[in-house]
Amino acid sequence: MRKGSKMRAVLCTEFGPPEKLVIKDIPIPRPSRGQVRIKVEACGVNFPDTLIIENKYQYKPNLPFSPGGEVAGIIDALGDGVDDFSVGESVMAMTLFGGFSEYIVIDSKALLRRPSEMDGATAAGFTMTYGTSMYALKQRGQVKEGEKLLVLGAGGGVGITAVEIGKLMGAEVIAAASNEKKLEAAKKAGAHHLINYGKNDLRDEIKSLVGTNGIDVLYDPVGGDLFEPCVRSMSWGGRALVIGFASGNIPKLPTNLTLLKGCSVVGVFWGNFRLKETATDNENFKTLFRWYQEKKLSPLVSQQFPLENAAEALLTLANRKAIGKIILKP
């Protein structure tokens, strides 16, 4: 933190690639009614951060703004009307943006108390990835014990969490990724089968594992050319979960495939779910925190960067070189 009432923040002052981000000293914000101020211990780096700085995301903040959609830290000030949290509590939260900074103010309703044994870096990488995968597999995919779950991008931040959660739900998990290092991480997370689609034909590999029965649930944060062959490999009544488009390409799907397969294409937007169905999401996190405390979840934070290296962190993610989660630390 700077002297006096200033803090460091990574700012997007013009839309463009990560290299255009700057770091500046700006005033420390004050919490308004219903808000708290968090001294940020760590901030998760996520794919939406790469989109929001280029004005390609659903949420479009006014310039200048700080990216960073999830944080962990310590409450250091309360706005009027906040009586359910106290100064000094360790918390985590989805912020949409503003997290790449030393302090952030946020509505108290967005906060989650983190388990006492969870450190800041782990907490900063937990909210969005585990929240997304729990919502996807429980509410949207309704995964059942014994079903075959195919996870694309299984070495990335959300992919690894889908492998872990899918296994805990009793699914037979097929992890697919673009290289062996990512598949090794997925294997450690509990995947039963591995597919390297960087080397082998994805549809052929799926068929060799499941035969003509097909996959019951597809978890796809990648999009692009991978989506259609996966839908062609669905079982009758299967569910294809659309998580995101890390490939940079939104797939086009012949909709007759959904008719022939009797399958569903299901959108997963955890951020809106968190805002619209907070109570249900809080119940999801109670389960996730219990699994964490029982050591059934092993969050993987593979790289930590200082604020000054925010552009490098975002490029690592955008270029799909990340394994597990990337964190920024003020």
Q: φ and ψ at 214, to 5 degrees?
A: 85, 175
Domains of the chain and CATH, by start: 6-126+299-329 (3.90.180.10), 129-271 (3.90.180.10)
Q: What is the reported pLDDT for 170?
A: 98
pLDDT at 1: 45
pLDDT of residue 281: 95
pLDDT beneath 50: ranges in the chain: 1-2
Query: How far, in Å, CA of 61 to CA of 49, rounded?
Result: 12
How far is Cα 76 from Cα 58, in angstroms, rounded to an integer?
Answer: 30
Q: Report pLDDT for 292.
A: 97
Asked if the peptide bond before residue 64 counts as cis, ω within 30 degrees of 0, the response is yes
CA distance 286 to 308: 34
> For 118-276, where are the alpha helices, taking DSSP H only?
120-124, 127-134, 157-168, 180-188, 202-210, 227-231, 256-261, 270-276
List the beta bridge partners of residue 194.
175
What does the pLDDT read at residue 4? 65
pTM of the model: 0.91
Give the pLDDT confidence of 3-61 residue by residue, as tens digits.
Answer: 569 999 999 999 999 999 999 999 999 999 999 999 999 999 998 999 999 999 888 89
71 vs 29, 199, 219, 228, 308, CA distance in Å?
16, 36, 25, 35, 17
Q: What CA–CA distance (Å, rounded) separates 295 from 122?
A: 13
Among the listed residues 153, 143, 207, the one whose alpha carbon sits nearest the alpha carbon of residue 175: 153
